[in-house]
Amino acid sequence: METIWFGISAFVLTMYVVLDGFDFGAGALHLFVARDDRARRQVLSAIGPFWDGNEVWLLAGGGVLFLAFPAVLASVLSGFYLAIMLVLWVLVLRGIALEFRSHLADRMWRAFWDGTFWIASTLAPVLFGAALGNLVRGVPLDADGWFALPLFASWTTTGELGILDWYTVLTGVLALVAIVHHGALFLAWKTDGVVRARSLVAARVAFPVLVLLWIAVSAATEVVVPGWFDALLSRPVAWAGAVLLVAGLVVSARARATGRDRAAFLGSCAFLLGALGATAAALHPVLVRAAGDASRSFTVENAAADPASLAAGLRWWPAGCVLALGYFALLFRLHRGKIALDDVDD
């Protein structure tokens, strides 16, 4: 039962990355692919029907942890308090920027909120990527399961730990590049004209950087967590994730080169699904790794809620998941097709 809920947690958070990732990427790119007000409204119109609903998956992830692994949620919220406040501010500013931009038809007003939207959309993937790097590297859990991390410490993965060190910064940069690539392919699929053309250029530039960073982070992970590759090689789910990852990269590159915009975007979705799926499989059964003393780690066995609670939740979760997936299928169906520049009004 605990392993099932581990898989559900990984699935919900992966869906958040895949779905909210494309509008984060679009936001990080919009100042570069859209150079005037009309083109920027085209970008915002492309993500407008989706961005708010995408964040439901983040709330669902918190709900799943609260139900299945409450000790982990309590410890992580406490230990990453500063980082979580930064993430909340980024998400709040991003939503405000989207809503406030068109309240005044003033050039300076819109430029300010465009800049705010860009900064928030760029910082969010870095923060989320660094958070994942912390979970893989490990945190200084004490005997009671609590920890506290400053933003900076020794900048190493073996001395005094901080939220940011060379490894977590590297994972944050990888997350940013992956999300920018993802968002560029989404914009190429959903827009036309100069925004589509510039988005394809952005995806083409980001692709080799993404591949190189993925290789670098994979090698660095084996250095930081010895035996990481052994865990990957010994688990069929991790193998499946790795195959999906590589297939997604190949499909996204070939489809982009041949003008199949939707296929290229779906290839990027497959890459993110495979990467995060393989990571979750390699981490299992560990939920939060304890640096220095593995016996203090939170695992699916020692951090799970009461079995009766897990069983009750499992009876209701499929219905909620089907409703959520059905909603997004309907949303993409209703908003199929491209947002043409000529159809964008003021």
Structure tokens at 45: 């119109």
Q: Which two tokens stand for residue 65?
A: 């942890």
Which residue do the tokens 């080169």 mark? 257
**Considering Cα of 29, then 32, then 37, then 41, what sign does the dihedral take?**
negative
Q: How far is CA 188 from the centre of its chain?
A: 20
Chain centre to alpha carbon of residue 150: 23
Closest CA to 118 of 17, 21, 16, 25: 25
**Rounded to whole angstroms, how far apart are CA atoms 59 and 49?**
18
**Long-range contacts (CB closer than 8 Å, 24 or more residues apart) made by 98-105:** 98/44, 98/48, 98/51, 101/44, 105/346
CA–CA–CA angle 303, 305, 306 (5° rounding): 130
Cα 288 from Cα 3, distance rounded (Å): 15
User: Which class for 38: exposed (0-12), middle (13-18), buried (19 or more C-beta within 10 A)?
Assistant: middle
Q: What is the pLDDT of residue 345?
A: 63
Residue 346 confidence (pLDDT): 54
Q: Is the dihedral of CA 264, 323, 241, 49 positive or negative?
A: positive
Digit-coded pLDDT (tens) for 173-198: 999 999 999 999 999 999 999 999 99
- Structure confidence by residue, pLDDT tens digits, 151-162: 888 888 888 898
Concatenate the DSSP letters of all residues of 44-79 into one string.
HHHHTTTHHHHTHHHHHHHHHHHHH-HHHHHHHHHH
- Which ranges of the chain have pLDDT less than 70? 342, 345-346
CA nearest to 138, candidates 163, 173, 170: 163
Nearest to 55 by CA among 130, 124, 112: 124
What is the DSSP-derived secondary structure letter of residue 191? B
Q: How much is the CA Rg of the chain, to the nearest whole Å?
A: 20
Q: How far apart (Å, rounded) are the C-alpha atoms in residues 8 and 6? A: 5
pLDDT on residue 213: 97
Contact in structure between 187 and 195 (CB atoms under 8 Å): yes
Angle, in degrees to the nearest 10, between helices 193-224 and 107-137 = 20
Q: What are the boundaries of each domain within the chain?
A: 2-336
